[in-house]
Amino acid sequence: MKNLTGIGIALLLFIISSSTYVVDQREVALKFRFKQIVESNIKPGLHFKLPIIHTIKKFNAQILTLDAKPDRFLTNEKKYVSVDFFVKWRISDVSEFYRATRGDIARAKNRLEGIMKDGLRNEFSKRTIQEAISGERGAIISSLRTKSNVDAKELGIEIIDARVSQINFPNTVSESVYDRMRSERQRVAQDFRSRGKEEAEKIKAAADRQATIIVANAYSKGETMRGEGDAKSAAIYAKAYSKDAEFYAFYRSLAAYKKSLANSGDIMVIEPDSEFFRYFKQKKISNPQQMPSQSINQSSTKQHGRPQLRSYPMSYPSYSYPQYFYPSNGLQYQQHQVQTKKKTVESGISKE
């Protein structure tokens, strides 16, 4: 009796174990009935089945990695490049995966590698080497992932990510790529230099414009001051002229004589009746040293609070000094008389 009980318990445990199965969190399962799929994508947990009739196959549901071998691809420039890439993928539809690969992971990797290489070949054939390794590398990966996912769906696979890890070139291609990259960098550098020169020209033009404005303002101010000075000078000359017009004319003529006859070797061809010799046409004086002089007697007495100037008449006519022109005595005497008269006039102007 005890033996029958033990056999019954053992048989019951066998039936229970044969009728249940557990799917791990990292797995996905298929249920077959006489080799026909009756249930797919079974979730993790405890499940039941009919012994002998149902069979269970479990597959890895984790993200898997395909690290492909480097392969050569032809670019738009008819040059070969060696590309190394990898793919992150997982089983998305276990029933499709089983039908396409019979559940063989190695076969699935081979099929997936072929899909990825076809996509890379298509992408590289539309681009140059420069575009492939620099600006459009991200676009290549994005387009490859999108298009490859369509083909991989037929295998029950989802591509999570795909990356190009390395691109190698033959020596001739490498030199060409480096030359092109060097030319591109030089072009960018030249562009920066051109912009710098343009900015420098703008700054220089602004500085020149500002300098022109400053110089113009200074010139205008200088001309204004010059005009004011000329006006004051003209007023002073007018006062002097009004004091003694004849002496003013004589003084100006004397200045003209001095300037014209400054060099002993100069020759002047002028008519004797010229106005220039006006003061040389007066009566001769036998002895210039005996010519009377003009003196200024400033009285110590003051009238109306100011000192008075007293002038004595000179015996020579109209301040027109000797008709002869002795450089040693006559001209010196003439200049002495002019300076005396000039001081008299200027003193009178200053007092007023």
For residue 328, what is the DSSP state? T
Q: What pLDDT does 315 receive?
A: 37
Find out whether 156 and 96 touch, Cβ atoms under 8 Å.
Answer: yes
Q: What pLDDT does 88 receive?
A: 92
- In this structure, which topology does domain 64-169 adopt according to CATH? Tetrahydropterin Synthase; Chain A (3.30.479)
Distance (Å) of CA 40 to CA 18, 53, 104, 186, 249: 19, 16, 17, 61, 133
Q: What pLDDT does 206 receive?
A: 93
Q: Give the number of other Cβ atoms within 10 Å of residue 199's Cβ.
A: 10
CA atoms within 13 A on the CB side of 23: 20
Q: What pLDDT does 173 receive?
A: 63
Distance, CA of 57 to CA of 338 (rounded, Å): 139
Successive 10-residue mean pLDDT values, the chain, 352 residues: 69 73 85 83 82 84 88 84 89 89 89 90 84 76 87 89 82 70 89 93 93 93 92 83 77 77 69 69 48 39 40 39 40 52 53 46
Q: Give the number of other Cβ atoms within 10 Å of residue 49's Cβ.
A: 18
**DSSP bridge pairs for 86:** 67, 163
Find out whether 123 and 142 touch, Cβ atoms under 8 Å.
Answer: no
Distance, CA of 156 to CA of 98 (rounded, Å): 8
Q: Residue 119 is inside which H or E element, if any?
A: helix 105-125
Q: What pLDDT does 235 receive?
A: 85
Tokens of 144: 């490859």
The four Cα atoms 322, 324, 329, 330 give a dihedral, to 10 degrees, of: 20
Tokens of 205: 């033009």
Q: What pLDDT does 53 receive?
A: 84
Query: What residue segments make up the domains of the chain, in order of their start?
Result: 2-60, 64-169, 244-351
Pair type for strands 64-67 and 306-311: unpaired
Distance, CA of 253 to CA of 278 (rounded, Å): 9
Distance, CA of 321 to CA of 348 (rounded, Å): 23
Residue with tokens 């033009």: 205
Q: What pLDDT does 234 receive?
A: 83
Distance, CA of 51 to CA of 171 (rounded, Å): 65
Q: What pLDDT does 43 receive?
A: 84
Find out whether 126 and 76 touch, Cβ atoms under 8 Å.
Answer: yes
* Long-range CB pairs of 236-243, under 8 A, 24+ apart, other chains included: 236/349, 239/349, 239/352, 240/345, 240/346, 240/349, 243/345, 243/348, 243/349
Q: What pLDDT does 34 receive?
A: 83
Find out whether 87 and 66 touch, Cβ atoms under 8 Å.
Answer: yes
Q: Which residues contact 103 (CB under 8 A, 6 or more apart)?
A: 57, 59, 97
Q: Give the number of other Cβ atoms within 10 Å of residue 179's Cβ.
A: 10
Phi-psi group of 43: left, alpha or beta (phi > 0 → left; psi -120 to 50 → alpha; rest → beta): beta
**DSSP bridge pairs for 307:** 302
Q: Which residues contact 115 (CB under 8 A, 6 or more apart)?
A: 148, 151, 152
Specify the pTM: 0.45
